[in-house]
Amino acid sequence: MNTLKTAFLLTLLTGLFLFIGGMLGGKAGMTIAFTFALLMNFGSYFFSDKIALSMYRAKEVTKEEAPELYEIVEFLTQRANLPMPKLYIIPQEAPNAFATGRNPSHSAVAVTEGALRLLSKEELMGVLGHELGHIKHRDILISTIASTIASTIMFVADMIKWAAIFGGLGRDDEDSNPIVLIAMAIIAPFAAMLIQLAISRSREYDADKAGAEYSGNPLFLANALEKLDAYARNLPFRGSPATENLFIVNPFKGKNFMSLFSTHPPIEERIKRLKDMAYRH
């Protein structure tokens, strides 16, 4: 299923750029757009993880630099029967985390400095177990590609806006209508939203369940989610809302209108399910 979603998103990316190129530059624009789309498809598949990590200035850390973090992840990977991912720290106070990569053998887990300071060892185990759940279920590629494509669409929307202001991007025929360009600039962010919503919300519930199992106690993750959600509402996160589907909790709550269409299931429902798991076991 994730292979089909990946193919769909890459095809959608190609179609989007062909349409934009045709609107802004006619046949020449479509040729340029097709070339750019091919490069984006290749880059999204092989380098989307590096793009996501560099976007947040994540720094890879060694076992000597972050011994406790390594100890926790090594314990969890043994329980999950996974290879050890690369570990990164994001220099932001807002607590959050995400996993990325093509597959379990080429994976990475990134945690913010704020999460390392805020969460207890047990809560951090729950969060990291959740991220390893995404790796185990092999949905990290589709999530990272989706965020990369959504970010690209946002960039295209911005480009269209300036094209409308300055009369197009070199297309000199009568079809280069500023009103059409403005409409496209408005529609493009909604396309990004649909890209994000293409990622099934059920994957978060599955990753929560995995995090509870790997850490050994569903309440570890439940308590962590409560803290992360509270801070996400009050502590600004520096980044693009187009990448919200990567994170364990939406870091852009209330930042703009697009946050109404969250890629994450309600945090209250996630916590309730985890607490139900704890009471059952």
Mean pLDDT computed over every residue of the chain: 82
Average pLDDT over residues 84-101: 96
For 164, the token pair is: 């409308």
Model confidence pLDDT, tens digit, residues 95-133: 999 999 888 999 999 999 999 999 999 999 999 999 999
For 163, the token pair is: 């094209």
**What whole-number distance in Å separates Cα of residue 198 and Cα of residue 263?**
9
User: What residues does CATH 3.30.2010.10 cover in the chain?
Assistant: 56-139+200-280
pLDDT band at residue 32, thresholds of 50, 70 and 90? confident
CA 132 to each of CA 67, 83, 194: distance values in angstroms, whole numbers, following the listed order: 18, 10, 26
Cβ proximity of 256 and 247 under 8 Å: no
Provide the whole-model pTM: 0.77
**131 has catalytic annotation:** yes
* pLDDT for 50 beyond 70: yes
* pLDDT for 261 beyond 70: no
Checking DSSP bridges between strand 106-112 and strand 97-103, what pairing results, if any? antiparallel
Phi, psi of 26 (to 5 degrees): 60, -145
Given the residues 60, 113, 122, 131, select the one marked as catalytic. Answer: 131
What topology is assigned to 56-139+200-280 in CATH? Answer: Zincin-like (3.30.2010)
Amino acid at 22: G
For 3, the token pair is: 């292979």
For 226, the token pair is: 């409560």
- Which secondary-structure segment (H or E) carries 87? strand 86-90
Greater confidence, 89 or 23? 89
Model confidence pLDDT, tens digit, residues 219-254: 999 999 999 999 988 888 998 777 888 899 988 875
**What whole-number distance in Å separates Cα of residue 119 and Cα of residue 72?**
13
Amino acid at 75: F
User: What's the pLDDT at 213?
Assistant: 96
User: What's the pLDDT at 260?
Assistant: 46
